[in-house]
Amino acid sequence: MRKLRIAILASNFIRIPPRPKDIPPLCSGAPEYIISLLTEGLVKRGHDVTLFASGDSKTSAKLISVTKRSTGVDPKIGFKPSGSRPHIFYELILTSKCFQLSKKGKFDVINSHIDMSSVPFASLIKTPVVTTLHSDLVGHRKFILEYFGKTQYFVSISNNQRKHSPSLKYAGTVYNAVDFEKIPLGLKPKNYLVIMGRIHPCKGIKEAIQVAKKVNLPLIIMGSHDEKNLYWKQDIKPEVDGKKIIYKGFIPRDEMFKILREAKAFIFPLQWDEPFGITMIESMACGTPVVTFNRGSIPEVVNDGKTGYIVNNLNEMADAVEKINQIDRNFCRQWVKDNFSIEKMVENYENIFYRILKIKR
């Protein structure tokens, strides 16, 4: 197979790879983490990769930027979680830069990770565009993607993610990955539960607190929040006492993995259809089983009865926690190694690129 000239179109919003201090409130940095793993993996396989991202990004690929620092933390741009979002204009500038170079014949394929900012322009160039979908396909996103759906290819991050927009021209499903070698295994869990993710109603933080109280176990919460957000102020913050309910915030990955690997279980009472859920594979890679609701991608990510339990309500979640010691923590780790490795993710993208280019010839 010949080596390809690949453009990875990321975002100005969060640097690649993301650090806790670079991630604005109510954001996760998960797409940026995956973009970094994919970019470095493609470079490692010998491809000529150009990453379009903020100027403070770090990569072994060629880096092209239109901003010196990520717009999400630039005070001159002034991003607010629930207010105006001027960073969108910088996304369009970055997209324009990528597509202009493509018109000059610089790339064999473009892999965009900023769907709504780039999808309207794919029909303007001859280079095939593969757009990776990181979010749920509803509302404005569904309309815009379907309007331009025949002009490019799409990659879903779970099969379930497709159900709201089945008519898009899917090139394949590629599961997200984790850097397995950097995740420690924990075989001697302590007597506490953990939940990790944005402090948002969709992640079920409030419900996780209820489960922890039912089983009388401490709960450690990790993730970003907005101090002014009503959900945080009314439903979560009053429950945090530092003993039974502990909030750690958005912490460095080494500290995060120490907490994850020593947890009895990762509980995840989702209130939405999760497109993938990287936190679950991070937890299982540590050997920590996951107890979660049967929503969205969950049956594709969690091996029910083997790497945790898939349940339907809070009472069932509490019952599952009580029997969590029946789960083999070594099997949890092996499940992630077999199904969600960087090598597997990169190879799947590579195969999609080759297949599309063969179609285009």
Which of 77-91, 124-138, 303-317 has the weakest average pLDDT?
A: 77-91
Please give the pLDDT value at position 361.
Answer: 38
Residues of the chain with CATH 3.40.50.2000: 5-177+341-360, 180-339
What is the domain class of 180-339 according to CATH?
Answer: alpha beta
Of the pLDDT bands very low, low, confident and very high (cuts 50, 70, 90), residue 81 is low
Segment 190-237, tens digit of pLDDT: 999 999 999 999 999 999 999 999 999 999 999 988 888 899 999 999
| Angle value at C-alpha 118, between 112 and 124, nearest 5 degrees | 110
What is the domain class of 5-177+341-360 according to CATH?
Answer: alpha beta
Mean pLDDT for the stretch of residues 66-75? 88
DSSP characters over 299-357: HHHS-BTTTEEEESSHHHHHHHHHTGGGS-HHHHHHHHHHHSBHHHHHHHHHHHHHHHH
Alpha-helical (H) ranges within 10-157 are 30-44, 87-103, 115-118, 139-147
pLDDT mean across residues, the chain? 94
Mean pLDDT for the stretch of residues 139-159? 95
Segment 6-42, tens digit of pLDDT: 999 999 999 999 988 888 887 889 999 999 999 999 9
